[in-house]
Chains A and B, each alone.
Chain A
Amino acid sequence: MSEFAEPIAKLIDEFKRLPGIGHKSAQRLAFHILRTTSEDVERLAAALRDVKERITFCSTCHNMTDVDPCRYCTNPNRDQKLLCVVEEAHNLLAVERTGEYRGLYHVLHGALSPMRGIGPDDLKIRSLLERLRTLEVEEIILATNPTTEGEATANYVGRLLKPLGIKVTRIAMGLPVGSDLEYADEVTMHKAMTYRHEI
């Protein structure tokens, strides 16, 4: 097979480095770029540059932000007595989309995983403890993922927080709303039964 001209080959290689993009997709994207107008390409390039230059992590809660501290941390209407701990910034958005939660956040940037060499010092745990010295939080909600790593992280953070005398809760686990019991796997069903509540 003959090779593409160098600039195209280079672009294909760059696309291939992105998650979820294989060789064929990379090729398709590269040829799409070739066909688009210069203005479109400029806009894409500017957007890429912008996101790197302007988006940083909040020095308080470690969420993605274009202002530091971020809008969640500085918004006076948010409940300063509630703090929700999540693994990643996109998890924060998932909680936020409910529109129900009006408290503060803390993004850990990962979960404990000895297999990948990720320990407590690689997560934003120390800064969480420091934040709690100044905040008057009454409840901390641990909303790490329901995976073994997420559970271990919640458990670990919970242990650290216990001596502080703050109420620590773990988000409930159970059935997805709007589905049928029939489709629930056993583990989920078991959790749903374990954490049932009185009505």
Chain B
Amino acid sequence: MNLALLEASGFRNLSGSLSGQPGLNFLWGQNGQGKTSWLEAIAILGSTKSFRTHHLSETVTFGGQAAHLTAEVHRRSRVEKLEIHLEGSQKHLFINSKRVSVGDFLGHLDSFLYSREEMAIVRGEPGERRRFMDRGVLSLKPGYVQILADYNRTLKQKNALLKTVGEDGTRPPQFNDLLDVWNVQMVEHGTAIHRARTEYVNQLNQVLDARLFGNETVTVRYQSSLEGRGDLANYAKLITERLQVRREAEIAAGHALIGPHRDDLEILADGKDVAKFGSSGQQRSALLVLELAQLNLYHRHFDEYPLFLLDDIDAELDRDRIRTLLDHLEGQVQVFVTTSKKTLAEEYTGRAALSQIVSGQALTAVLIEN
């Protein structure tokens, strides 16, 4: 899929339109001019969510009433017009001027983002990596959202039940039966999550370009919290056993200790944990390798590439890595890159569409004239 034209009004400080070409698109500009906001607009048109805020209403220009985003998307021979209208807490979605539901709106302009915040996937808490896996699964199987919701709901209910145990260990009536009942669903939904993530990480390893950025080999490994406790191939049986063995410990702790909400993803360079032993350059490389693998997996699944958004690329990567990355992507994936370095954008004159962002407006080809 390719974004050909993006129009914004009433959205943050943006105005006018941004045109895209298949391949590389550079957005160059000083800080605070709105480069990232254009990327945000693309992401919102794809997912109806922002990577900057949980409240879309915050994206409406300060003092304004409503924001309107329109995208012209080319998919093979088809052209689609996607629109989002934000007003108050409401969002209205349109495809080819026809109002549609969120479910129907998704999947027409998928994008993956690489930004400074994404480094948390490598360096941050295991929760960041679980979300990375879950987002990946969701990009291929939208129905996974229900499994996640059911598991999280069950987990909350179980934790609430465990909290009813008194400080002195007194248990409310029927406590044991009730715990059993919630554990049944921990097993059912937990097994579904474990299966989906395992399969996803296996696929990721198959498509990742492990040595893209140099000599070390990047791999990932799904690390179940039940590892070393028995046969993971029969997860349902294993988690059932562990829930039984750790039952008293869970009651004492007052929250659930067993389940895929405690799992992690190991990101390895030459077999070593890159968060612990890698340099910051190696960590960035590893993350990029993973993001690119997600693009490949998406392509394998849907036979087309999503967009790739690279925010503030020169702050994150050195020139060699940028060259390797953009050479790798060129000709396959439509990429939108933001940078504050004019020289970097100039390096790609002729190969990339260049837009200078000034006060929210995208001005075309200013660089070439300078």
Q: B-contacting residues of A (Cβ < 8 Å)? A: 112-115, 119-121, 147-149, 151-152, 155-156, 159-160, 185-187, 189
Cβ of B300 < 8 Å from any Cβ of A?
no
The 10 closest A-B pairs by CB, nearest first: A186-B143, A114-B160, A114-B161, A115-B160, A187-B146, A185-B143, A155-B181, A148-B153, A156-B181, A152-B181
Query: Shortest distance in angstroms between B331's beta carbon and chain A's nearest beta carbon?
Result: 34
Interface contact B157-A156, CB-CB below 8 Å = no
Interface contact A114-B164, CB-CB below 8 Å = yes
For window 120-164 of chain B, which residues contact chain A by CB distance below 8 Å?
141-144, 146-147, 150, 153-154, 156-158, 160-161, 163-164
A115: B residues at CB distance < 8 A: 156-157, 160
A195 to B55, CA, bound (A): 40
A148 to B148, CA, bound (A): 12
- Give per-residue flags for B173-213: 1 if the beta carbon is below 8 A from chain A beta carbons, else 0: 11001101110110000000000000000000000000000
Count the A-B residue pairs with Cβ separation under 8 angstroms: how many? 62
Known: A121-B173, A155-B181, A156-B177. A113 touches B146 (CB 8 A): no
**Which of A121, A149, A152, A160 has the most chain B CB within a 10 Å cutoff?**
A152
Interface contact B185-A148, CB-CB below 8 Å = yes
Tell me the nearest residue of chain A to B144, going by C-beta: A186
Describe B's contact surface by its main secondary structure.
Answer: helix
Cβ of B32 < 8 Å from any Cβ of A?
no
Known: A152-B157, A187-B147. A159 touches B180 (CB 8 A): yes
Known: A114-B160, A156-B181, A159-B180. A120 touches B174 (CB 8 A): yes
A160 to B176, CA, bound (A): 12
Interface contact B185-A152, CB-CB below 8 Å = yes
A112 to B172, CA, bound (A): 14
Indicate which residue in B142, B157, B180 contacts A149 across the interface (CB closer than 8 Å). Answer: B157
Known: A152-B157, A159-B180. A187 touches B143 (CB 8 A): yes
Interface contact B181-A148, CB-CB below 8 Å = no
A189: B residues at CB distance < 8 A: 143
A160: B residues at CB distance < 8 A: 177
**Which of A120, A159, A186 has the most chain B CB within a 10 Å cutoff?**
A186
- 20 A-B residue pairs with Cβ-Cβ distance under 8 Å, sorted by A, are A112-B181, A113-B160, A114-B158, A114-B160, A114-B161, A114-B178, A114-B182, A119-B174, A120-B173, A121-B173, A147-B153, A152-B157, A152-B185, A155-B181, A155-B184, A155-B185, A159-B177, A185-B143, A187-B143, A189-B143
A152 to B155, CA, bound (A): 12
A187: B residues at CB distance < 8 A: 143, 146-147, 150
A87 to B186, CA, bound (A): 22
Known: A112-B181, A115-B157, A115-B160. A148 touches B150 (CB 8 A): yes
Query: Shortest distance in angstroms between A184's beta carbon and chain B's nearest beta carbon?
Result: 9
Interface contact A112-B154, CB-CB below 8 Å = no
B156: A residues at CB distance < 8 A: 115
Tell me the nearest residue of chain B to A187, going by C-beta: B146
Interface contact B146-A186, CB-CB below 8 Å = yes
Query: Shortest distance in angstroms between A171's beta carbon and chain B's nearest beta carbon?
Result: 17
Tell me the nearest residue of chain A to B163, going by C-beta: A114
Interface contact A151-B185, CB-CB below 8 Å = yes
For window 243-286 of chain B, which residues contact chain A by CB distance below 8 Å?
none
A151: B residues at CB distance < 8 A: 185
A160 to B173, CA, bound (A): 14
Interface contact B143-A114, CB-CB below 8 Å = no
A155: B residues at CB distance < 8 A: 181, 184-185
Interface contact A114-B180, CB-CB below 8 Å = no
A134 to B163, CA, bound (A): 37
**Which of B157, B160, B181 has the most chain A CB within a 10 Å cutoff?**
B181
B161: A residues at CB distance < 8 A: 114
Query: Shortest distance in angstroms between A41's beta carbon and chain B's nearest beta carbon?
Result: 34
A178 to B365, CA, bound (A): 55
A156 to B157, CA, bound (A): 14
Knowing that A114-B164, A152-B157, A155-B185 touch, tell me 4 more A-B residue pairs with CB under 8 angstroms. A112-B181, A115-B156, A152-B154, A152-B185
Query: Shortest distance in angstroms between A145's beta carbon and chain B's nearest beta carbon?
Result: 13
Query: Shortest distance in angstroms between B83's beta carbon and chain A's nearest beta carbon?
Result: 23
A159: B residues at CB distance < 8 A: 177, 180-181
B154: A residues at CB distance < 8 A: 148, 152
